[in-house]
């Protein structure tokens, strides 16, 4: 028996217990929405259609350069990870797809596809890894990958990305996300422009290998692992790269990859306005790329981002929504459930914005009323609506409660080997 | 007839229109709170007891070094300002006191007291101004005030603070807030320690003049108007100053006066833990000391601060709550109403935190559950409760709607002279 | 007699006093450069060719939203300002041009040209001001200018920019710098994309009025005077605007207009790589747009920017170098002299970089050697070279000493009316 | 034969080659200093007395949470590390002491002492590690160490610190540095004050075990590895901890552990003014705790810190100077040599500041002259003086050149096992 088999009963049981209170909360919310002229059913349909992909690597406990503290029952490989992703989706019904990372997730597309099909899990964008060295690797990425001074190293990194596309094509993915750590730690270490030229040349070789119905996502990040300069340091460079590459190239916005105080929702709007917004890596942050749980630190910012998502989608944008977090002190399954819920919450709140009132306030320069219009939507407690969407899709009214009740983690802890804390010790 | 006389009818009228919807929203909320074992009446009493002082200077339109764009009907002097403060309080019933700033607000305590009494307005902490030169001033504050190299300049600044105490004593204030712009724009401009020594000597002279039942608030700010160093640059220096001065000296936390990314709620907790938390200047910010409306940018941060306020108050802290904002693009009265409401909202949400669940999550290192416990409180829409508290005190269910319905601004615009944009032109 | 007539004697006198020490320092430096295979005369010629424009508004004392503290002898109008600019150039021989700002600098091109010719001063880029209201203005810029919701307001701002071009054309300028404060203070206040669309439409109307040999500079700034969003918030938006406009549009980089920690020299490299680097507003900063004296806070950063300037110029870029600072606590003439010197110093140090060694270190991924190569150039004390360039051009070996010796400030203080502190009082 | 034996010949050989140029540079500098009334010999003595301790962990290649890329000849254990430290000191003669980290550096004080004596290396402050779990550890530090909810975990962490003191006492150390990663990743995860109370209780138990002639250093850090709050988040908390503990407790300032834009040199001055400055962890940073090479990013900031060091030392402070860096892309030996040199350079430049001129400028509010006084010292190229100090002590005129000439790294690479990239893979 798989640990996944523990879930249906836990879902049914906890749903039954919560049914009454849920019904009352839902009624109250529906009445309130109705008073505002909103149709709860239409909202539910839109919320149900909003899904986020789970990163396979997010199911393991993350860490920092100082240490990694494993938890019980950590996934030992990609098949365990896919089990965990399936568990998440069965509970929250918001995460039908998984985003894979290679070579972390092996090189056996047939087995991946088979496992995914068996679990009812699909595959979102595939991710290449040229920021680490693998044991059997000919050329080191210590001094860069796609932008490396040496053509042999660049070619190796290009070949890896093309292999990612091949695997992705075999499992039904439609996009490649390219994030590299290339950069410098010292002024002068590399010439900014020469480095970017080499990067562009490499990226073009990868782009040329894209199937016709694929997209290639370029992702910016201000710093880390490089600490003086990073080659795709901001959305400006990301936009220029995507533009150089062509129509299939778009920009991915990781919410935590910006300088302090930067207005991220505005960057989303800019990329959308110029036709290059491809999607998101959701997470939250207080200091840097903290990779904290979505909405854990600044839920209003997430709501403001979702406002721009809605505007972009209204204009026809096809956005890839993915979570990218590091779960250092929680059960990763719980964090991913909560984060998917937070993303949907912010999306649902954004759906409640009175667009006519907002437009009127903007046109009359009524800043306060515009602000209040957004906040009125934000402070609506949409949790009953989110719960109902889950329930209708077979999920849990309260997925965390159901998960804890299921004993899933304890069950897999018995089956899976104890993970080491490897990764610590670099200071 | 005073413009204030327009308010009662507007409050009554708009309250009548909103009565039904309000009753239903309030019932739904009360039912929900009851299901959670919370007593709505007890909550209302606590919320009603939470008030914030209005800064007299906040009733005028603010500006930047680039420009100031006045609005219609700006207060021409302190009596107009007190009228506006009274209007705010009558609408929102959350702001019974005004915080004055001298010499901006004149030097006639008897007249101030009389006007305050007539309006039913009290006086919170008084503020001294030694960051500007006045026309008749003997010594310039260009190079500092309480920390100036010249004893004559320091003595002048000390004397002004003592005069502020005298005025405050005459009008019923019980605290003096000392914020200075003293600092440097160049490395080496002043010796950090010598400058602080002079500051401390001056502060002690002011402290010595405090009545026995007064407090003196020291307020830190990382930068502006000085751009290389500021003498009370952070809570550490503020704490040390308050400690050097004595028990009547406490630290004021202006939410926008910190370096980017700093955890402000933790600073609040630290000052409370070491017995030096005196109160707040509420506002919100995205980049620097933006002085934006409270809760306009990051309402969750405001909620987290209020969590610490509750903890401090539970341990006996007597905190001064004041707004300090610059209203550049809105009607200041509207911004102050909305901000007082946001402060109360965050306070009310903090009151909803399930403290037992939180403590249990903390004790069992259950980070996710702790976070969810806070967020469950935060996402409760307490607006019906806030509205009911206002209504019971004679205020408006929706103070902004009532204010706009009253025609107050249009009425005062007819009486008050048009304000100039003076203040612009400094780049 | 003009105060400018005091300078020649002061220059001659102080040069004579410093001649011996200067000769020895210069000999030592020349010997050192020769040992490194560098030709001091070639370096001198390159340094002499590097000039920076003085902003007319920089000759007055600046201020903050809190206060402005005027100094003695402040310029009463543009003709006084041009006198001060001439004084600066005669002392440091690095600032032959002035950048004007309208309507601050009047509307009489013939008089400006005549005065400039009389002083031997040329005119660099002209700057438009649509971030302040003028007394006789039909439409307020309180809620924006080129991006305003109202076409009438936008047209007024367009017309002002076109008038700036006309004045500039009449006095020999070849570029228009467009910086606007348009933005928002609240989430939702304006739609990001609609606002940018309006801005672009307005900018195109201005661009259409450019003479064929002119350039139009678009300048980004992360925040201030708007505190939630700014329409041209970063180089990415600035680049896209310049690209939409056409070949004559280029991006201006003000060193202080970026988010904390951002790598500014990399932005310079990116704009140069994509053909849109137009020039600079030099200054220094620690916290925000502090507008401190160039090189006063982080001289190594200025040096790294100059490295990119050299690379861009080597590829044919024609860059406009301007100072943009706020002199709040110093004599503006002294700050401008020192800042022009710092810009030249960093440029001269960049000229000393051993480019072969640097390239070799980069190609061999020798990060430490690359860093050391830059730092070897940076730590060379090039002051004797800079002094000699000044001396040969008729300027002062030590311009600050000569300026103080001249009594220029005291002389103009007798002639010019005392400036008020107007501008204070906005909090 | 030890690889260390390769150094004398390399030093002698490269010194001979550089002797002539060095002599000329030194003469020119001495002449210049003499013209300024400075005594080169006195300066040399002061510079020679300024030393910095090498962190044992800094001799290995560092990394990030993304990856670690080992270099050739990495030290396999503490004895290899001490060899590398000895090599560094023999070349640069500025690093006579090593700072150890336990349990990384084993638990055999006798062997450590013997090895140190054999190499002529002393031991500076010892560091405890309670931010990682060790294989045989009873209680995990996943949720904290000295502040953990569980007394058993706290006791374990206390015992480890006391063991560090014991080892340190046996090898001649006189200080314990306590840095913990304790903090939270979510609002609400722990009560700020309860957590600090537990920390203080634990710290007091450690303090009680200090020998009478020891110091205990408390070290603050704004974030990482915790990303919402860190228990000793800034100098304010660090100061309060040190004050609670007693006279033997002092604060350590790691230059990279502050919020963006914070004025670090001012914090140094504040801690010195209040008697709690204990010493430094030198490094440089652009974004966060980048742990880059000292002086690599902002050498002027390092100079300004050294100005405060001089002031503190003049008042009797006994400061511990240590390097704490992560060398990810360079040979750690080269980075440590360069960094020790940069620290000394900044110290030497600070010694050149004309203190009389500075004081006079400060007293007369002459900000520009004060700034110029500092910069005149900073831009003096003191490298010939530093080289001479090394030469006189038996070191290399150019230690990097000598190191590369020696073949030390190649020699140890033959002896030492290839290091794995372990530590990567946590994202």
Distance CA B173, CA C56 (A): 47
Per-residue model confidence (pLDDT) at position B231: 98
Closest partner residue to C66 (CB to CB) among B66, B225, B296 is B225
Q: What is the pLDDT of residues C259-293, one digit of tens each?
A: 999 999 999 999 999 999 999 999 999 999 999 99
> Nearest-CA distance from B256 to chain C in Å?
12
For residue D356, pLDDT over 80 is answered with yes
Tokens 């909320």 sit at which residue? B29
Instruction: Please tell me which residue of chain C has the smallest CA distance to B57.
Output: C427
Three-state DSSP class for C165? Answer: helix
pLDDT at D189: 98
Question: Any CB–CB contact under 8 A between A35 and chain B?
Answer: yes
Confidence band, pLDDT 50/70/90 cuts, at residue A102: very high
pTM, rounded to two decimals = 0.98
CA atoms within 13 A on the CB side of B28: 24
Cβ separation of A187 and C304 shorter than 8 Å? Answer: yes
B25–A contact, CB cutoff 8 A: yes
CA A185/CA A181 separation, integer angstroms: 11
Region at C172 (left for phi over 0; alpha for psi -120 to 50; beta for the rest): left
For C111-163, write each residue's pLDDT tens digit. 999 999 999 999 999 999 999 999 989 999 999 999 999 999 999 999 999 99
Q: For residue B368, give the nearest of A25, A287, A334 by CB distance.
A: A334
Distance from CA of C373 to the nearest CA of A (A): 8
Q: What three-state secondary structure class fits B63?
A: strand
pLDDT, residue C418, reads 83
**Is B236 in the C-facing interface, judged by CB distances under 8 Å?**
no
d(CA B275, CA A219): 47
> Smallest Cα–Cα separation from D194: which of B313, B371, B362, B365?
B362
Q: Which residues of D touch A187 (CB under 8 A)?
A: 296-297
pLDDT band at B424 (very low <50, low <70, confident <90, very high): very low
Using CA coordinates, name the residue in chain B closest to D305. B187
Q: Whole-angstrom Cα distance, residue D161 to residue D209?
A: 9
Q: Give chain D positions within 8 Å (CB) of C375.
A: 295, 299
Residues of B in contact with D370 (CB under 8 A): 186, 188-190
**What Rg do the C-alpha atoms of chain A give, in angstroms?**
22
| Cβ within 8 Å, pair D363-B270 | no
Q: Find chain B residues with C-beta within 8 A of C423's C-beta.
A: 65, 422-426
Tell me what pLDDT residue D357 has.
Answer: 98
pLDDT at C32 over 80: yes
Residues facing A191 on adjacent strands: none
Q: Return the SS3 of D176.
A: strand
The distance of C376 to chain D (nearest Cα, Å) reads: 9
pLDDT score, position C423: 44
CA D197 – CA C198 distance, rounded (Å): 56
Measured between CB atoms, does A303 come within 8 Å of chain B? no
Structure ipTM: 0.97
Record the tokens describing residue A196, joined without a space. 């970017």
- Tens of pLDDT, residue by residue over D38-73, are 999 999 999 999 999 999 999 999 999 999 999 999
pLDDT over threshold 60, residue C422: no
The band of A262, judged by pLDDT with boundaries at 50, 70 and 90, is very high
- Please indicate if any CB of chain D lies within 8 Å of the CB of C300: yes
CA nearest to C33 within chain D: D25
Mean pLDDT computed over C175-203: 98
Cβ-Cβ contacts under 8 Å, B136 against chain C:
none
Whether the per-residue pLDDT at C421 is higher than 70: the answer is: no
Say whether residue A12 is in contact with chain B using an 8 A CB cutoff: no
3 state DSSP class of A1: coil
- pLDDT tens column, B99-125: 999 999 999 999 999 999 999 999 999
Q: Which residues on chain D are in Cβ contact (under 8 Å) with A424?
A: 132-133, 423
Size of interface A-C (CB pairs under 8 A): 147
Mean pLDDT of D314-318: 96
C37 touches chain A (CB under 8 A): no
CA distance A367 to chain C (A): 5
Q: What is the distance in angstroms between the Cα of C272 and the nearest Cα belonging to chain D? A: 22
- List, in order, residues 6 or more apart from D225 with CB less than 8 Å away: A63, A64, A65, A66, A67, A328, D131, D181, D183
Instruction: Show Cβ contacts of residue C53 under 8 Å, excluding neighbours closer than 6 positions.
Output: C95, C97, C98, C99, C124, C125, C320, C321, C322, C323
Question: Does the pLDDT at position C63 exceed 60?
Answer: yes
C412 class by beta-carbon count within 10 Å (0-12 exposed, 13-18 middle, 19+ buried): buried
Mutation pick from C371, C373, C377 vs chain D, by most beta carbons of D within 10 Å, is: C371
- From chain B, pick out residues whose CB is under 8 angstroms from the CB of A369: 400
C224·B64 Cβ contact <8 A:
yes
Split at pLDDT 50, 70, 90, the class of D303 is very high
Task: Provide the pLDDT confidence category of residue B269 given band limits of 50, 70 and 90.
Answer: very high
Count Cβ–Cβ pairs < 8 Å, chain B vs chain C.
163
Q: Could you read off the pLDDT of D165-221 as tens digits, one per residue? A: 999 999 999 999 999 999 999 999 999 999 999 999 999 999 999 999 999 999 999
How far is the CA of B217 from the CAs of B210, B239, D57, D240, D339, in angstroms? 11, 10, 46, 20, 43
The token pair that represents C123 in the structure block: 């005119």
| pLDDT surpassing 60 at residue B422 | no
Question: What per-residue confidence (pLDDT) applies to A427?
Answer: 45
| Alpha-carbon gap: A203 to the closest alpha carbon of chain B (Å) | 34
D55 Rama class: left (phi>0) / alpha (psi -120 to 50) / beta: beta
Distance between C367 CA and the closest CA of chain A, angstroms: 5
User: What is the structure's pLDDT at B425?
Assistant: 38
User: What three-state secondary structure class fits A47?
Assistant: helix
Interface of D with A in 152-191 (CB under 8 A): 181, 184-187, 189
Mean pLDDT of chain D: 96
Q: What is the pLDDT of residue B421?
A: 61
In this prediction, residue B198 carries a pLDDT of 98
Find the residue in B nearest to A346 (Cα). B379
Considering only CB atoms, which chain A residues are within 8 Å of D223? 286-288, 290
| Statement: residue A425 has pLDDT above 90 | no
Question: C residues 92-121 near B, CB within 8 Å?
Answer: 104
Which whole number is the average pLDDT over A126-140? Answer: 96
pLDDT tops 50 at residue C184: yes
Judged by CB atoms closer than 8 Å, whether chains meet at D261 and C263 is answered as no
CA D281, CA D53: separation in Å to the nearest integer? Answer: 9
C: neighbours with 3+ CB pairs under 8 Å?
A: A, B, D
Which of A71, A286, A299, A328 has the highest number of chain B CBs within 10 A, making it the mutation to test binding with B? A299
Judged against a pLDDT cut of 70, whether residue D426 lies above it is answered with no
Please list, in sequence order, all residues whose beta carbon lies within 8 angstroms of the beta carbon of residue B259, skipping any fewer than 6 positions away: B222, B234, D258, D259, D260, D261, D262
The pLDDT, as a whole number, for residue A418 is 83
In Å, what is the CA distance from A107 to each residue of A74, A416, A419? 21, 21, 22
Residue B229 sits at φ, ψ, to 5 deg, of -145, 150
Could you please report the per-residue DSSP string of C275-326?
Answer: T-EEEEEE-B-SSSS--BPTTSS-HHHHHHHHHHHHHHHHTT---EEEE---
Using CA atoms, how far apart are residues C50 and C269, in angstroms rounded to an integer?
A: 19
> How far, CA to CA in Å, does B82 sit from each of B57, B280, B326, B409, C290?
10, 21, 17, 14, 35
Task: Report the phi/psi class of residue D193: left, alpha or beta, with left for phi > 0 and alpha for psi in -120 to 50.
Answer: alpha
Q: CB contact, 8 Å: B37 with chain A?
A: no
A422 pLDDT more than 80: no
Q: Looking at chain A, how many residues does it have?
A: 427
Question: Hey, is the C-beta of D65 within 8 angstroms of any chain C C-beta?
Answer: no
Question: Mean pLDDT across the stretch C234-243?
Answer: 98
The set of residues, in sequence order, having a beta carbon less than 8 Å from that of D118 and lying 6+ positions away, is none
Of A132, A184, A224, nearest to D424 by CB-CB distance is A132
Q: To the nearest whole number, what is the mean pLDDT of chain B?
A: 96
Residue A424's pLDDT band, with cuts at 50, 70 and 90, is very low
Does pLDDT of A117 surpass 50?
yes
Q: Which of B364, B20, B61 is nearest to C143 (CA)?
A: B61
Tokens (6 digits) for C183:
């933005």
Percent of chain D with pLDDT over 90: 97
**φ/ψ (deg, to 5) at D3:** -60, -25
C394 touching chain B per CB within 8 A: no
> Are D286 and C261 a contacting pair at CB < 8 A?
yes
Mean pLDDT over A112-119 rounds to 98
Alpha carbon of A43: minimum distance to chain D alpha carbons (Å): 30
pLDDT, residue B384, reads: 97
Distance (Å) from the alpha carbon of C82 to chain B's nearest alpha carbon: 18
pLDDT digit string, tens, across residues A136-170: 899 999 999 999 999 999 999 999 999 999 999 99
Average pLDDT over residues D377-386: 98
Portion 322-361 of A in contact with D at CB < 8 A:
326, 328-330
Contact B165, B114 (CB under 8 A): no
């Amino acid at each position: 028996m798989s640990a996944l088999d523990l879930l249906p009963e836990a879902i049914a049981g906890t749903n039954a217990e919560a049914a009454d209170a849920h019904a009352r909360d839902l009624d109250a919310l529906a009445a309130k929405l109705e008073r505002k002229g909103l149709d709860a059913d239409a909202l539910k349909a839109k919320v149900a259609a909003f899904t986020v992909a789970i990163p396979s690597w997010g199911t393991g406990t993350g860490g920092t350069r100082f240490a990694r503290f494993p938890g019980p029952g950590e996934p030992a490989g990609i098949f365990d990870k896919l089990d965990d992703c399936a568990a998440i989706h069965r509970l929250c019904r918001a995460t039908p797809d998984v985003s894979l990372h290679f070579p972390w997730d092996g090189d056996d597309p047939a087995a991946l596809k088979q496992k995914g099909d068996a679990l009812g899990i699909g595959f979102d964008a595939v991710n290449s890894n040229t920021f680490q060295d693998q044991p059997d690797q000919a050329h080191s990425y210590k001094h860069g990958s796609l932008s490396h001074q040496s053509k042999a190293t660049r070619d190796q990194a290009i070949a890896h990305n093309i292999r990612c596309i091949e695997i992705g094509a075999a499992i039904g993915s439609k996009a490649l996300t390219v994030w590299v750590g290339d950069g410098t730690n010292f002024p002068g270490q590399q010439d900014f422009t020469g480095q970017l030229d080499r990067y562009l040349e490499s990226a073009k070789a990868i782009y040329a290998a894209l199937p016709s119905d694929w997209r290639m996502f370029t992702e910016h990040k201000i710093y880390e692992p490089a600490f003086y300069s990073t080659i795709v340091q901001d959305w400006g460079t990301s936009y220029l790269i995507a533009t150089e590459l062509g129509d299939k190239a778009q920009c991915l916005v990781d919410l935590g990859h910006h300088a302090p105080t930067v207005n991220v929702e505005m960057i989303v709007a800019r990329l959308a306005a110029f036709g290059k917004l491809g999607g998101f890596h959701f997470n939250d942050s207080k200091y840097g790329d903290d990779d904290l749980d979505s909405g854990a630190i600044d839920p209003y910012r997430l709501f403001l981002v979702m406002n721009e998502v809605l505007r972009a989608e209204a204009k026809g944008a096809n956005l890839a929504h993915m979570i990218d977090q590091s779960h250092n002190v929680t059960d990763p399954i719980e964090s991913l459930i909560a984060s998917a819920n937070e993303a949907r919450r912010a999306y649902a709140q954004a759906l409640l914005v009175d667009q006519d009132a907002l437009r009127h306030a903007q046109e009359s320069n009524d800043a306060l009323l515009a602000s209040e219009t957004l906040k009125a939507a934000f402070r609506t407690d949409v949790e009953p609506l989110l719960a109902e969407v889950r329930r209708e899709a077979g999920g849990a009214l309260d997925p965390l409660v159901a998960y804890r009740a299921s004993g899933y983690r304890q069950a897999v802890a018995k089956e899976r080997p104890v993970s080491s804390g490897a990764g610590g010790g670099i200071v």
